[in-house]
Structure 1
Amino acid sequence: MDLFSLALGALLDAVGELTDSDFERPSGCAGWLVRDLVCHLVIDAQDVLITLVTPTADPVTHDAVTYWKVSGSPSDDPLAELTVRLAAAYGEPWMLKHHVDDVGQAALRAAQLADPTLKVSTQDMVLCTSGYLGAYVWEWTLHHLDLVMHLPGASGPPVAALARCREVLEQIAGPFPSSWPDADVLLVGTGRRAPTEAERAELGDLAIPFVLA
């Protein structure tokens, strides 16, 4: 749960440092500009708030790792095009920055107040609150990488969050070369960048990319 706050706090800080022109740059999410990604973060924060107030007495079915499933492509998301249209509707970047900070800070407060043992329901899954918030460390960290991919000099995700996300990916996909930095493991392992020839040789039979949704 501490990593949730660390990862989301760093992401909100990074969004707050964006210039107006940064919103028109491409992000690490294929087909999305930075503004589209920031709009998606609004939806993510809203999902967190909704889930934290959706308790259930049903047995736990998933944890921070099994919450994620391998899918074919980010374009499989039926809300992808809606997100682009919604982002454009904001008009001015400051409006989008204000909204994501507003709901993001609310998600931070809600997480800090949450009972880690409470069971919550989302997307036909049941998780302990601690497991659900742990799952979102992946979401915040990967999208932080997406946010800064084409913004030289921008601050990346916290080291601890990168390390945790690498653990998640390797539990699902198998181990990556130990010499690889965590950020490279995540970028290559999720198809955000193609491996170099040398990296491909090191990967051997490990199949990539993995898109976790």
Structure 2
Amino acid sequence: MDLFSQSWTALRTAVADLPDEDFERPSGCTGWLVRDLVCHLVIDAQDVLITLVTPADTEPTVDAVTYWHLVEPPTGEDPLDALIPRLAAAYGDPGLLRFHLDDVGSAAGRAAELADPTARVSTRDEVLTVGDYLSVYVLEWTLHHLDLIARLPSAAEPPAETLAATRASLERIAGTSFPASFSDKDALLIGTGRRTPTDREKAALGDFAARLPLVLG
């Protein structure tokens, strides 16, 4: 629960601190501007609110690791992915988008703090505990924080604790550890295809390099 709050607070603070002109810059998500990514975060926050009030009375079917599946890289043909830039552009003023994220995001954060981590909820036709569900979003939001600041060198990075936790989650999903020489940030960027490894990094990865990128769905 603490890592969820840390990752979400840090990400929303990073968005709040962005000057308007940065919303038009490319993000680390291929084909999306920063404003598109922020619009996606609004939808993420809505999903958190919806899921936390969707109780389940059956046994969990997944946990924070098995919730994720390794999928093929996106082709850009997903209807929701195509919708996001149109929604983001409709806001016009970055201040409106910033306000909407703060409004809905604050509510999602409060709902998470009030939730029982042992309770079970349903989402994507799966059942998992609230604690596991919020752990899923530690990974989601830490990666998107890196996407947000990909071309904004002066922006604040994710907290060290959430970077480490997200690396550990990605390693459990992959069933393999990244080389100890990799920083948590580099392990995440290289592991998810957000950065191409150098020749030295490829050598350190060994056979694991052939399995990258790890695309989560």
TM-score normalised by the chain length of structure 2: 0.96
Matched, 1:211 2:212: no
The Cα of 1:208 is off from its aligned counterpart by 0.4
Give the Cα separation in 2 of the matches to 1:77 and 1:18: 28
* Aligned-partner SS, 1:121: strand
Q: Give the structure 1 partner of residue 71 of structure 2.
A: 71
Could you say which residue in structure 1 is the equivalent of 2:177?
175
Q: 1:76 Cα deviation (Å)?
A: 6.0
What CA distance in whole angstroms lies between the structure 1 residues aligned with 2:15 and 2:65?
26
Which residue identity is paired with 1:198?
R
Shift of 1:77: 4.1
Superposition map of 1:21-40 within 5 A? 21-40=21-40
Aligned residue number for residue 103 of structure 1: 104
Segments of structure 2 that go 5 or more residues without pairing to the other structure are none
Q: Find runs of 4+ consecutive structure 1 residues off by over 2 angstroms.
A: 74-78
What are the ranges of 5 or more consecutive residues in structure 1 without an aligned counterpart?
A: none
> Does 183-192 or 168-177 show the bigger shift?
168-177
Write the distance in 1 (CA, Å) between the matches of 2:46 and 2:35.
17
Identity of aligned residues (%): 62
1 CA distance for matches of 2:73 and 2:104? Answer: 27
Please give the residue correspondences for 1:1-213 in structure 2 after superposition, counting only pairs within 5 Å. 1-74=1-74, 75=76, 77-173=78-174, 174-206=176-208, 207-213=211-217
> Residues 43-63 of structure 1: CA distance to partner in whole angstroms, max 9, x if unpaired?
000000000000010110111
Structure 1 residues 55-76: Cα deviation after superposition (integer angstroms, max 9, x where no partner): 0101101111111111112436
**SS of residue paired to 1:79:** helix
Task: Give the TM-score normalised by the residue count of structure 1.
Answer: 0.98
The alignment's C-alpha RMSD in Å is 0.9
- Please state how far the C-alpha of 1:172 moved relative to its aligned partner: 1.9
Write out per-residue CA displacement over residues 120-169 of structure 1, whole angstroms, 9 at most, x where no aligned residue.
Answer: 00001101001100111001100000000100111010111000110111
What CA deviation, in whole Å up to 9, does each residue of 1:97-134 have, x standing for no partner?
Answer: 00011111001100000011110000011010011001
Question: For the residues of structure 2 that align with 1:63 and 1:78, how far apart are their CA atoms?
Answer: 27
Q: How many residues align?
A: 213
Task: String of CA shifts for 1:155-201, please: whole Å, max 9, x gaps.
Answer: 01011100011011111221111011000000000001111111111
